Structure 1
Amino acid sequence: MAERRQVRQEEITLAKHLISLGGLNPEEYQLAEMVDDYENAVMGSINFTPPEKAEYGGDIVRVVYKDSDDIPVVITLTKNVNNEILDMDFWKKDFSKLQTYPTPDKIAIFDQDMI
């Protein structure tokens, strides 16, 4: 597993917004200060929980974002079985590197027709 790093403010901002979009109160979820990058940070996916707490418990919300190269990116915020934030998973349609990190005003609730 990759070396854990400090969570960035833009990641916290996006995660809290996604929690809200999922109909939950962001104040009830403590986000980890240290995270792991997935895929060597190519698409932006991060894991908030240590391996011993990483059992998938379901999706909170799925949104879509158009990267600055106009390629759609699906972002899914998930929780573990303990109802803690598990990860924020990015999937870029063409599997290329994320160009610009999304901000809350640039995302929309996921609709299959958007990708």
Structure 2
Amino acid sequence: METRNLKDSEQNLIKHLIRISNKEGTFDIPELVEDLKDGKMGSIRFVSSEPDRTYSSDLVQVEYIDEDNVPVIITLTIDNHQKFYELEFWKVDFEKLVRYPRPNEVTVPNS
């Protein structure tokens, strides 16, 4: 996959998700990412030099209502080395994300 620099909008959202998770100061946000082939829903994988890297757990999950009124679940995950793994977007209709969420537009489920 092709790598690229993290966008400001992605970094702002990630910082907000870290605050929600109460894990500020625990993780460094990598500057390089890869776009995942998810139908343009917006998912990215953080680039790492760690060997044998796999998904470990979800750090935080939030919800967002896209501009077309379709719910989106956003999950920030960590890997088996306790570093950021992916920022996953799952739009419930599997369609392309219309607009990238701003931090103030995401909500924690059941809150």
What TM-score, normalized by structure 1, do the two folds share?
Answer: 0.87
Letter in 2 for 1:30: D
Between the aligned partners of 2:94 and 2:86, the Cα distance in structure 1 is 18
Structure with higher helix content = 1
Letter in 2 for 1:21: I
Letter in 2 for 1:98: L
Count how many residue pairs are aligned between Structure 1 and Structure 2: 109
Worse-matched range after superposition: 36-45 or 47-56: 47-56
Residues 1-115 of structure 1: pairs in structure 2 closer than 5 A = 2-25=1-24, 27-39=25-37, 42-50=40-48, 52=51, 54-111=53-110
Letter in 2 for 1:14: L
Between the aligned partners of 1:53 and 1:19, the Cα distance in structure 2 is 25
Q: Equivalent pairs: percent with the same residue?
A: 36
C-alpha contact (below 8 Å) 2:66/2:72 kept by paired residues? yes
Q: Report runs of 4+ in structure 1 exceeding 2 Å deviation.
A: 49-54
Worse-matched range after superposition: 72-81 or 38-47: 38-47
Gaps of 5+ in 1: none
Between the aligned partners of 2:22 and 2:29, the Cα distance in structure 1 is 17
Letter in 2 for 1:35: V
Task: Flag the 1:6–1:40 CA change in 2: closer, same or farther, 3 A.
Answer: farther
**CA shift at 1:9, angstroms?**
0.6
Letter in 2 for 1:46: I
Alpha-carbon RMSD across the aligned residues, in angstroms, is: 1.6
What TM-score, normalized by structure 2, do the two folds share?
Answer: 0.90
Worse-matched range after superposition: 78-87 or 27-36: 27-36
Letter in 2 for 1:90: F
